[in-house]
A and B are shown apart, each in its own frame.
Chain A
């Protein structure tokens, strides 16, 4: 079956910035597909998996993590030069991640509170998504990314078509699965209406409101949704926290958080 010539295999690199490595682990967790993937892609750079190193250029670079330290900026620019296609993976790379919450806080105070020798720590005052620094060709959302979307992307690369990654509300997946709406039937907080799908409604399937880890979908009406959450009797600070999750730095969630922060102050 594997008749594709080895030499024709796309050279793939996986790189990381500020992140937990969970998205890289998702690649390694593709147990059923892994052998087929390595037979079709030449994974030449993948620190989470191998100590073997290989310089660019690369056909595809998967980038995990947000830009959080001074050296990251040069590194991502260099990677971009080496990458024919650059794909960001996960909430950190696509939206700044949970660490982007520091973008609303006093960075020096945090650093002093956490580290014994804050002067040894070189970090930027903000954690930002990769797309704020270089051009990104495709992104896989989520914390962590969805294995199905990852294989779909890889398949699309090989077949030569556009990956079928839909940008629709998580609600759509709940409804197709027949999950009863947690907002309407249980009064739960849920980011599903404004969050893009791809997780197959993972949290609502387990009776939890969506955390928004896949980030805002195109045209997300975050303003109306925050108004809806406020109307349900939640104080502004709580609504702010609901938005200020893994992808809070992504617009339009960012504006809601800033707005509700102002209301508090």
Chain B
């Protein structure tokens, strides 16, 4: 299936073939260059990284079988040397030792503290995988990328010569393709080797690497050998299957800090900290002070520690993370979320060590999927195919009536519309155009038996032209488009509609649906705020809803003359009327962005879950179908992926300026 690409001339020129029997020459070459060689070797039923004297120390003919909480060595059918994945050791043991003296102090005669000079003799790491190079690069950012640096790490890292090896096999615990770190090695090495049946295709990535390679008994690889090297790595990607949906994981986790799963996984977790110790990027440490019995001479040793330690977040007054669930959450959210904020990438490279070496077989992939699942498109796929979906084609409809709502806003009732529009759902919108006027997006404010209502504020040329039409006029329509309010998901809950100003328009159809099905909800309420009484939309409908029993309506205005007898204040001041268990509330919020932010904040502070707050976002739209790029909001097109979003989908894009 995979076609063998002919290696480009330039690439072929840089590649060499080293027979498996000559691998010892590489180790000798590295040792002769004054480097201690650390590489894979079998000890204690595992392939660990340790000092290598000769090729005989390497795990030729062995592979590892890995699963959550399980690691076993098996014989391979061949004599491949690197035919395993990653074992219990990570390279951090050598770049960031588990025990390191960092200071000594004395008060015999004089008083002082001394810092040892980093001692990092030249070393070669043999068999570094793509995910492990990614881990070293993460360590670079953690230890060297900020204001304060770890000079011991700097020395050890600089002293390390990297012989990378392409993975030609994968374990069930591997997920480098999900984290974007492998399986292919793309850089960060001095020598790169790919194992094929007869030996290795070798490539130097630095002048130091080239100097070592130059002394090896190599020849040019044949076309077939070079092709096999590419295929072998490519097949690992196929072996690993579909990558996990990691897009937005940073924000996804941040929105789930109260997920019940944290407590569930903490019940299983034994807090041994093996995940953090095996992780190639975890960097937490503590210091241990040792002294003579008089306390006159002391040494300070830095030791690997773990955020799972019961004392890790303790201060004199107590423990900031006293519960196991707090500690598990700290680890997982740091690795997959807050690490991005601190160091610009995920802290996870997908090596799978935390899965294999967890004695109770906790699999972070499962926990992530349960706690912060990929955000499904907000609402189920639209029930109806839009008509005239391409940007240039329109279906014709006729204006039946035009009803002024406010000074600048009118509602057009359209008839003779394509049946697709009648099958649309509250929250969806149409693109409406007139000849010579560019199309504008307008929410459907009401679905009627034989037509739809569009409530339009005259703010631009098209909207002004539309509000100036007369009954009988024709308009061009495309739609219905976008996502809609998930009415059914609020069944059995308190449905709360919060509208500000003209924001009531995209909510009108929703209110109609809630009222029509009011007995399916625990309660139905509308909080509506506008600047003045004169800015209210749908005054007749508001009056009807207020007198009916299906919905509780609370109205406020920002300011009003003496004739106004109702409440004055922004819409959030109405929230003091909320008396329900807010975990059982599903809220639908539309209005000016600031009003939505305040409303959402108010709802969340009352305990409404983020995934139960739906908002409709407004953005510049030209095409309405995700092709023009205008309405992009983070990774989403508001026209196609919205306009209705669950708050948790938007993450911190909501509430953020300049998005």
A178 on interface, CB distance cutoff 8 Å: yes
Q: With both chains docked as a complex, state the minimum distance between the C-beta of A57 and any C-beta of chain B, in angstroms.
A: 23
Contacts of B271 in A (CB 8 A): 169, 193, 219, 221
Q: With both chains docked as a complex, state the minimum distance between the C-beta of A254 and any C-beta of chain B, in angstroms.
A: 17
- Taking a contact as CB atoms closer than 8 A, the residue among B45, B72, B267, B278 that contacts A175 in the complex is B278
How many angstroms from the CA of A57 to the CA of B272 in the assembled complex? 42
Closest A residue to B268 by beta carbon equals: A224
Residues of B273-325 at the interface with A, using a CB-CB cut-off of 8 Å, are 273-274, 277-278, 286, 288-295, 303-306, 309-311, 324
Q: With both chains docked as a complex, state the minimum distance between the C-beta of A20 and any C-beta of chain B, in angstroms.
A: 28
How many angstroms from the CA of A155 to the CA of B271 in the assembled complex? 30
Taking residues whose C-beta sits less than 8 angstroms from the other chain, chain A's interface range is: 35 or more
B120 on interface, CB distance cutoff 8 Å: no
Contacts of B294 in A (CB 8 A): 4, 158-159
Contacts of A40 in B (CB 8 A): 293
Contacts of A207 in B (CB 8 A): 44
B360 on interface, CB distance cutoff 8 Å: yes
A138 on interface, CB distance cutoff 8 Å: no
Contacts of A159 in B (CB 8 A): 291, 293-295
Q: Given A167-B311, A224-B268, verify A36-B293 contact (CB < 8 Å).
A: yes
* B292 near A180: Cβ-Cβ < 8 Å: no
**Segment from A118-126, A182-190, A242-250 that makes contact with B:** A182-190
Closest B residue to A155 by beta carbon equals: B293
Residues of A179-216 at the interface with B, using a CB-CB cut-off of 8 Å, are 179-186, 190, 192-194, 207
Q: Given A168-B309, A207-B44, verify A175-B274 contact (CB < 8 Å).
A: yes
Closest B residue to A192 by beta carbon equals: B272
Closest A residue to B88 by beta carbon equals: A180
Contacts of B286 in A (CB 8 A): 166
Q: Given A155-B295, A184-B70, verify A171-B324 contact (CB < 8 Å).
A: no
* A219 near B324: Cβ-Cβ < 8 Å: yes
Residues of B82-126 at the interface with A, using a CB-CB cut-off of 8 Å, are 88-89, 93, 98-99
How many angstroms from the CA of A183 to the CA of B274 in the assembled complex? 12
Contacts of A183 in B (CB 8 A): 69, 359
A28 on interface, CB distance cutoff 8 Å: no
How many angstroms from the CA of A164 to the CA of B288 in the assembled complex? 7
How many angstroms from the CA of A21 to the CA of B357 in the assembled complex? 38
B71 on interface, CB distance cutoff 8 Å: yes
Contacts of B216 in A (CB 8 A): none
B515 on interface, CB distance cutoff 8 Å: no
Closest B residue to A37 by beta carbon equals: B293
Residues of A3-34 at the interface with B, using a CB-CB cut-off of 8 Å, are 4, 33
- Taking a contact as CB atoms closer than 8 A, the residue among A154, A184, A193 that contacts B270 in the complex is A193
How many angstroms from the CA of A122 to the CA of B56 in the assembled complex? 64
Q: Give A119-155 as 1s and 0s: 1 = Cβ < 8 Å from B's Cβ atoms.
A: 0000000000000000000000000000000011011
* B46 near A180: Cβ-Cβ < 8 Å: yes
How many angstroms from the CA of A159 to the CA of B295 in the assembled complex? 6
Residues of A208-238 at the interface with B, using a CB-CB cut-off of 8 Å, are 217-221, 223-225, 227-228
A111 on interface, CB distance cutoff 8 Å: no
How many angstroms from the CA of A220 to the CA of B272 in the assembled complex? 9
* B272 near A172: Cβ-Cβ < 8 Å: yes
A176 on interface, CB distance cutoff 8 Å: yes
* A184 near B357: Cβ-Cβ < 8 Å: yes
How many angstroms from the CA of A171 to the CA of B276 in the assembled complex? 11
How many angstroms from the CA of A160 to the CA of B295 in the assembled complex? 9
Q: With both chains docked as a complex, state the minimum distance between the C-beta of B95 and any C-beta of chain A, in angstroms.
A: 14
Q: Give B187-218 as 1s and 0s: 1 = Cβ < 8 Å from A's Cβ atoms.
A: 00000000000000000000000000000000
Q: With both chains docked as a complex, state the minimum distance between the C-beta of A231 and any C-beta of chain B, in angstroms.
A: 8
How many angstroms from the CA of A160 to the CA of B324 in the assembled complex? 32
* B311 near A166: Cβ-Cβ < 8 Å: yes
* A172 near B356: Cβ-Cβ < 8 Å: no
* A185 near B88: Cβ-Cβ < 8 Å: yes
* A193 near B272: Cβ-Cβ < 8 Å: yes
Q: With both chains docked as a complex, state the minimum distance between the C-beta of A40 and any C-beta of chain B, in angstroms.
A: 6
How many angstroms from the CA of A46 to the CA of B49 in the assembled complex? 48
How many angstroms from the CA of A180 to the CA of B274 in the assembled complex? 11
Contacts of A4 in B (CB 8 A): 294
How many angstroms from the CA of A146 to the CA of B303 in the assembled complex? 19
B269 on interface, CB distance cutoff 8 Å: yes
B43 on interface, CB distance cutoff 8 Å: yes
Contacts of B274 in A (CB 8 A): 171, 175, 181, 193
B364 on interface, CB distance cutoff 8 Å: no
Q: With both chains docked as a complex, state the minimum distance between the C-beta of B69 and any C-beta of chain A, in angstroms.
A: 6
How many angstroms from the CA of A223 to the CA of B359 in the assembled complex? 14
B263 on interface, CB distance cutoff 8 Å: no
* A217 near B310: Cβ-Cβ < 8 Å: yes
- Taking a contact as CB atoms closer than 8 A, the residue among B267, B278, B295 that contacts A158 in the complex is B295
Q: With both chains docked as a complex, state the minimum distance between the C-beta of B284 and any C-beta of chain A, in angstroms.
A: 11
* A224 near B270: Cβ-Cβ < 8 Å: yes
Closest B residue to A154 by beta carbon equals: B293
B48 on interface, CB distance cutoff 8 Å: yes
Q: With both chains docked as a complex, state the minimum distance between the C-beta of B16 and any C-beta of chain A, in angstroms.
A: 34
How many angstroms from the CA of A219 to the CA of B50 in the assembled complex? 34
* A180 near B99: Cβ-Cβ < 8 Å: no
How many angstroms from the CA of A177 to the CA of B311 in the assembled complex? 21
Contacts of B89 in A (CB 8 A): 178
Contacts of B98 in A (CB 8 A): 175-178
Known: A40-B293, A193-B360. 15 other contacts (CB 8 A): A159-B295, A166-B286, A166-B311, A168-B273, A169-B270, A171-B273, A171-B274, A172-B306, A178-B98, A180-B45, A181-B357, A181-B359, A183-B359, A192-B272, A221-B267
Residue ranges of B at the interface with A (Cβ–Cβ < 8 Å): 43-46, 48, 50, 69-72, 88-89, 93, 98-99, 267-274, 277-278, 286, 288-295, 303-306, 309-311, 324, 356-361
Can you list 16 A-B contacts (CB < 8 A)? A36-B293, A166-B311, A167-B310, A168-B273, A171-B273, A172-B273, A176-B99, A176-B303, A178-B50, A180-B44, A184-B70, A185-B46, A194-B270, A217-B310, A224-B360, A225-B359
* Nearest 10 CB-CB pairings of A with B: A175-B277, A159-B295, A180-B44, A176-B98, A193-B272, A171-B272, A193-B270, A169-B272, A180-B46, A185-B45
